[in-house]
Structure 1
Amino acid sequence: MMMTDFTEEDTWLQIQGELSLRKLTEGSEYREELKYDFNIKGELRHLDTNESFVFNYYKNEHEQNHKRYEVLGHFITQYVYELLERVCMLQKVYIPTDATGDEPRSFFFMSKDALTSSSSLIILLQDRGVFCAGQWGRRAIVSEGLKHGTQIPFIKMAQQSHWEVIVLNPNDNFTDLNTEKERFSAREEALTFPQSACWIPKRGSSSPEEHTMYVWDHFIAKSAARNVAFIAHGYGGLVFVDLLVQRKCEVMNKVYSVAFIDSTHSVQHQSRHDPEIQEWIDKNCREWVSNSKPLNKTVQFLMRANCPTFSAGTERYGLAPSSCLQSIFKYLKTMLKAKITRALRNSPVATRSSTRKKTGDK
């Protein structure tokens, strides 16, 4: 099995060890069926046997096993939120900003100076699914651990480069009026939650596209950051291209680069063959895809004109983000350096003669 070395990021795992998934599950009706916690390596292990997660807990009872897995996923979501706030020191920001007291709200996470700092700003945009902010994929967390399934290694690497971070939450789209709470407080609730018919959309976040647009309009576009980059996985790539089409000039001026991972976007279809958008994506974006080729080897798609595309170094979709982490940040730093160099080259330089001329004209 291919594993990625996260030496520089391992220190956060020592801190996450001070938190506990078990504390969340102990108070539930599933405390015996979910007797698991993350070890110091960030791997999910049974507290008694030290074995990895067993999906087939109830023998040949698919529905019960699925519901148990869904409950575990809910607790992992709450645990990752704790890591984002206590390990990554991110702030939870509720939206819409003008919500009334009882109105359902969504939220996202950002670093303390994300809106005021002029340094680079990295936006993490996940795939579509049942998982929420801070996760690339639930199954990867359960099977491979926090280093491979969460966005925390990306956040920590950005912070080490003194970059600001915004973690979007594009899949938090609805609220269940029957429960009014996004948690499983009892076994009966856990069994009925997925089938609830009283879902209402959250204003400004009823879809991944709407959520991303709202955060762009109210936060990212107004931020002081001069250099914004996106890292978009799966459906998140389609969502970014939708944002690019809807806010073309703003995005082109503010975003200097995008790293796609197994993106599902279609530039031609979404942009209606807009040559300006196609040219911008070709020049400012790069994609890594699940592939049998070694990491960073060129991958050709005959039917898809897009941007330079490279192998993620793994054929496993869930491991693609962690596999190309180092390559993505190397690419973003290269693109940032090139942008800064161009800006310096194009900026007017005050020479001695021009200074004397200006002084003499006074």
Structure 2
Amino acid sequence: MSHSPPPASNCEEALIQLKNFGYAFDGEGVLRKVDPATGEPGKELFSYNVSDDAAENEKHYQKLANQIPEIVYALLEKNGLSRTYIPFDQPPERSSFVFSQPAKLSQSKKLLVLIHGSGYVKAGQWARSLIINNSLDHGTQLPYVRQAQKLGYDILITNANDCTRFYNGKENPIKGVNTSVEHTKYVWQNIVLPAKPESVAIVAHSYGGSLTLDLVERFPDFFKESVFAIAFTDAAMGSPQAKNKEYLCDVACDWVASNTPLDTPVSQSKSSIRRISAGHTKHEWTSYSAIDSVFKFIEEKYEQRANKK
């Protein structure tokens, strides 16, 4: 398959590119075909098949999907979050970035950290396919942002798949954050720990679960002292280290893809993290489907923590 063109460099450019493909988001955040008569989003939804050639269909999809990150970044900023470029010693054009509210985290009473999965998704996204085929609310982290804001949380959004920059004629790894593991480690060491948050909750989807376990293993004292709730959504992760198992079984829950109703317990061993149904059978839907249950869990855990003090 031929390589997709580079993604748009800002939201305005991305929206223009999207329109060039014949698409635009409507007022409800649904991607629709542009009505040629009005130049506005019409009624037709996204169609993957543009050709009889399977490779051509995939190429078209990837080109269109490449426009999504900048659109989501702009929506995060519109919702009050700010970019922090990392690593701190690199110029912005050769850096990655994360989003937070406030712009500089400091002694947050309650901090919510959102960690996406692997692949093409960038900051603010849970599932690119849901953004394209359903709506921005279905596939982005915006519903989590809005709910966290309502509940008085400061917010930090990772960008763990943003590991390269194009310059000198080629893609180059971003020094210090050139893998998703390095990214989350850097964010924790250089943003979270120095900010000295009082109480931290994490929502991690898919491979974000593995990244979270890596953080627990690197910073066990901080986690056991400050991280009171970890909500996984259909996490892709191995077994936690024995020394962290009791802690994780206490603070964590995994909402997994299942054909049973939301919150139905899913079989597990007694010494593993609790697993309950996300209320949907598809992996990529779990974060969207489980959001109300996730926040209920986080708030209950916070209340338990507050009552212990």
TM over 0.5: yes
Equivalent residue, structure 2, for 1:240: 212
One-letter amino acid of the structure 2 residue matched with residue 62 of structure 1: A
- Pairwise CA distance, 1:286: 0.7
One-letter amino acid of the structure 2 residue matched with residue 104 of structure 1: R
Equivalent residue, structure 2, for 1:140: 130
Cα displacement string for residues 61-85 of structure 1 (whole angstroms, at most 9, x for unaligned residues) = 2222222211211211110010000
Does the alignment pair 1:291 with 2:258? Answer: yes
Which one of 52, 59, 62 corresponds to residue 67 of structure 1? Answer: 59
Helix, strand or coil at the partner of 1:70: helix
Equivalent residue, structure 1, for 2:239: 267
Which one of 73, 78, 85 corresponds to residue 77 of structure 2? Answer: 85
- Pairwise CA distance, 1:36: 1.1
Cα displacement string for residues 218-265 of structure 1 (whole angstroms, at most 9, x for unaligned residues) = 111111421001100000000000111112112222211100111011
Helix, strand or coil at the partner of 2:184: helix
Equivalent residue, structure 2, for 1:349: none
Q: Structure 2 CA distance, aligned partners of 1:333 and 1:124?
A: 16
Say whether the 8 Å CA contact 2:106–2:196 is kept in structure 1. yes
Which one of 297, 302, 309 corresponds to residue 331 of structure 1? Answer: 297
Equivalent residue, structure 2, for 1:151: 141
Say whether the 8 Å CA contact 1:22–1:35 is kept in structure 2. no
Say whether the 8 Å CA contact 2:101–2:154 is kept in structure 1. yes
- Pairwise CA distance, 1:117: 4.4
Helix, strand or coil at the partner of 2:70: helix
Helix, strand or coil at the partner of 1:258: strand
Equivalent residue, structure 2, for 1:42: 29
Say whether the 8 Å CA contact 2:11–2:74 is kept in structure 1. no
Helix, strand or coil at the partner of 2:155: strand
Say whether the 8 Å CA contact 1:114–1:164 is kept in structure 2. no
Say whether the 8 Å CA contact 2:93–2:165 is kept in structure 1. no
Equivalent residue, structure 1, for 2:287: 321
Equivalent residue, structure 2, for 1:307: 273
Does the alignment pair 1:173 with 2:163? Answer: yes
Equivalent residue, structure 2, for 1:15: none
- Pairwise CA distance, 1:22: 7.9
One-letter amino acid of the structure 1 residue matched with residue 177 of structure 2: S
Equivalent residue, structure 2, for 1:53: 46
Equivalent residue, structure 2, for 1:217: 189
Helix, strand or coil at the partner of 1:259: strand
Say whether the 8 Å CA contact 1:228–1:257 is kept in structure 2. yes
Structure 1 residues 21, 94: closer, same or farther in 2, change over 3 A? closer
Q: Which structure dedicates a bigger proportion of its chain to strand?
A: 2
Equivalent residue, structure 2, for 1:124: 114
Q: Structure 1 CA distance, aligned partners of 2:183 and 2:92?
A: 19
Summarize the alignment of residues 174-213 of structure 1 with structure 2, pairs less than 5 Å apart.
174-177=164-167, 198-213=170-185
- Pairwise CA distance, 1:23: 6.1
One-letter amino acid of the structure 2 residue matched with residue 131 of structure 1: V
TM-score (norm 2): 0.89
- Pairwise CA distance, 1:37: 1.2
Count of matched residue pairs: 294
Query: Unpaired segments of 5 or more residues in structure 1?
Result: 1-19, 180-197, 344-362
Q: Structure 2 CA distance, aligned partners of 1:24 and 1:226?
A: 38
RMSD of aligned C-alpha atoms?
2.0
Query: Unpaired segments of 5 or more residues in structure 2?
Result: 1-9, 36-41
One-letter amino acid of the structure 1 residue matched with residue 261 of structure 2: P
Does the alignment pair 1:94 with 2:80? Answer: no
Helix, strand or coil at the partner of 1:63: helix
Cα displacement string for residues 28-74 of structure 1 (whole angstroms, at most 9, x for unaligned residues) = 4x754x111111221111111521111111x2222222222112112
TM-score (norm 1): 0.77
One-letter amino acid of the structure 2 residue matched with residue 140 of structure 1: L
Cα displacement string for residues 202-225 of structure 1 (whole angstroms, at most 9, x for unaligned residues) = 122111111011000011111142
Q: Structure 2 CA distance, aligned partners of 1:228 and 1:165?
A: 10
Structure 1 residues 102, 133: closer, same or farther in 2, change over 3 A? closer
Structure 1 residues 22, 62: closer, same or farther in 2, change over 3 A? farther
